[in-house]
Structure 1
C-alpha cells in the first residue's frame, strides 16, 4: 500500500538543506502540507537567513505542493510556538513533526569549551523538546501524531570529537522512550532516525566517505515510514546508502550478588553479568527493577 500524507500537515526543522530538505520534499510529494523550518545559519549555528527555507518552499510549490517557510530558531520556544500557531492558522492541524535541526561544534573533550557543549545540547535536545512541546497538546486533542527525533550513531555508539553531539543525540533516544509511552493512548507515535548521509554536516569527512552512495535522499524512505499512519513507535531506525537497520537498548538477565565481597563478585562475575543470552528490550524502565527483585526473591527462596 502506498504511503500517502494527503490532508496532513508536517513540520520539518532544519529543512533548508541536506536531510531536512529531502524529508520536506518527499512529504510534500506524497500529499502533505509542509512547514519548512530553517534558521539558515552556518553549520556551527551562527548567523541566520530565511533564504534556504524559502528556496525549498519554492521547489515544493513548483511541483504543485503546498508549503510555508519559517526561520524560527528551535532554541527559542516563543518563536517555535509562533511557527506552530502559523501552521494551525493556515491549515488547522499538525500531524507530523520531524525534529531534524542540528549543529556541529566538534572538538575533543579536552579542548572543548563548555559553551560549545551547552549550545549543541541546546539545539539538538532542547530544540526537539521545544518543538515537541509546541505540538504535543494539538496531537493529544487530535488523537493523532507522528514525531521523529534525529539521533545518530555518534550518540548510540560514540565518535571521537563529538562528546557534545553524542550526548545530545543519545538524550533524544531517552526523550523518545518516555514520549512514546505517554503518547500511546492518543495514537502519538514517537520514533528516532539515525541517518548516515553526506550533507554539509559531514563535508569535512569527504575523503573518507563514498559520497555518491550517501545521498540524503536514500535516508528519507525510512523517515516516511516512521511518520506514516502505520508507523511503529519507540523504534530506532538506522538508515544510509540504501541500508536500513534497527538499533535497540537492551538489558541482560544478569546475576544476583550481595554480601561483604559484593564488589569483588561483581568483578569476578562481570562476564556472566554481560552474557547476552535471553537479553530483553524492556517495555519501560521499571523492567530493570523487576528483573533485579525477581533475582533477589529467587536467591532468598521466596
Structure 2
C-alpha cells in the first residue's frame, strides 16, 4: 500500500505543543506537510504558564527533517493572526485540526460563570473562530480538510457540564459545516478521542490511569486523524469515537416514535415505555431529514403528502440550501 503523503500541503493544528496535538503535528510533518504548531502554553485548566511548548515541538520537527513554525496566538481572540502565520510563511492552508482545549470540573452550581465561559470559549467558540478565519483559504486549496475535536462526554458527564456542553456544540457544528463545505470542496469531520494525555492523567483512579496509559497511546489517534486529513479520504460530516486503534462511528438516532390520540397532556399518560422504545429508528443526516422522518411516522396523511412530493436527493439539497 502506498504511503499517505502530504507533500506541498500546509496544516494548522491548535493546541499542538503537547499531547494529541503534538502527535498530529509530528506525524503530518513526517509525511511531508508544512505545519503551524499553535499553542499558547497554558496549564491543563487554562491557567497561564511560562512555557513554550510550540517552540519545543517545532524544534523536534525540524530536527527530524520536517518543516514547521510556531504560533502562540489564542484560539479565542487570535484566530485571524494564527491563520495569517500560515499564509505569510507558506502561502496556503490545506488542513485545519481544531484540537486546543482545557479541562475542569465541578457541580453546575459551583462552577463560577467565568470558568464556564472560559471552557465554552476555548473549546467551542475557539473552534468556530479558527474555522471561520481558515475557511476562505481552505476553499482556495481546492480540497480543504477540517478535523474537529468533540468528546464522549456528550453521552453524559455529570460535574463537567461546561466541558460536555462545549463538546456537544462542536459535534453539531461539524454536521452543519460539512453541509456548507460540500459545495466548496471542504470536508469536515470530528473525533471523540480516548488517549493518555495530561488531561486524562488528572483522573484520580490509578487503575484507570494505568489502563489508559497502556492501551490508548496518542499515536493510534494520530494515525486515524492523519488518514481523515488525506485527500484520498471522501468522508465528511462524520464523527468517530477513536482510541487504541479502534474507531466507531457516532450517530444521532431518532426512534420512530409515538403519535398521541389527541393534543391533550393526558394523551401522553402511560406512554413512557413506547417513547423509550428504539427498536425502529432512523439516522437523519440533517435537520430536513429529521423533519421528513418525523412526517413519515406521524400518520397516513403525512406519509401520502411525502410520497406525492417525490423528494429526490437533488430536491433535498436545494431545500437545505
Q: Same fold (TM over 0.5)?
A: yes
Q: Which runs of 5+ in 2 are unaligned?
A: 305-321
Post-superposition Cα deviations, 1:4-37, rounded to whole Å, max 9, x if no partner, equal 1111100010011010000100111111100000
Q: Give me the whole-angstrom Cα distance separating, in 1, the residues matched to 2:232 and 2:285.
A: 20
State the TM-score, normalizing by the size of structure 2: 0.87
2:214 to 212, 223, 228: 212
Give 1:81-230 correspondences, 5 Å limit.
81-155=80-154, 157-205=155-203, 207=206, 208-209=208-209, 210=211, 211-230=213-232
Task: Say whether 1:256 aligns with 2:254.
Answer: no
Superposed displacement of residue 215, structure 1: 1.8
Structure 1 contact 50–71 (Cα < 8 Å) conserved = no
Match of 2:309 in 1: none
Post-superposition Cα deviations, 1:176-204, rounded to whole Å, max 9, x if no partner, equal 01000000111211111111111111222
Sort the Cα spacing of 1:19 and 1:301 in 2 relative to 1 into closer, same or farther, 3 A. Answer: closer
Q: Which runs of 5+ in 1 are unaligned?
A: none
Q: Give me the whole-angstrom Cα distance separating, in 2, the residues matched to 1:141 and 1:301.
A: 43
Q: Give me the whole-angstrom Cα distance separating, in 1, the residues matched to 2:57 and 2:243.
A: 22
Superposed displacement of residue 71, structure 1: 0.5
State the TM-score, normalizing by the size of structure 1: 0.93
Q: Give me the whole-angstrom Cα distance separating, in 1, the residues matched to 2:47 and 2:222.
A: 27
Match of 2:316 in 1: none
Q: Give me the whole-angstrom Cα distance separating, in 2, the residues matched to 1:271 and 1:149.
A: 36
Task: Say whether 1:34 aligns with 2:35.
Answer: yes
Q: Give me the whole-angstrom Cα distance separating, in 1, the residues matched to 2:251 and 2:268.
A: 25
Post-superposition Cα deviations, 1:206-245, rounded to whole Å, max 9, x if no partner, equal 6122122222112111111221113311111111122222
Task: State which drifts further: 265-274 or 180-189.
Answer: 265-274
Sort the Cα spacing of 1:122 and 1:296 in 2 relative to 1 into closer, same or farther, 3 A. Answer: same
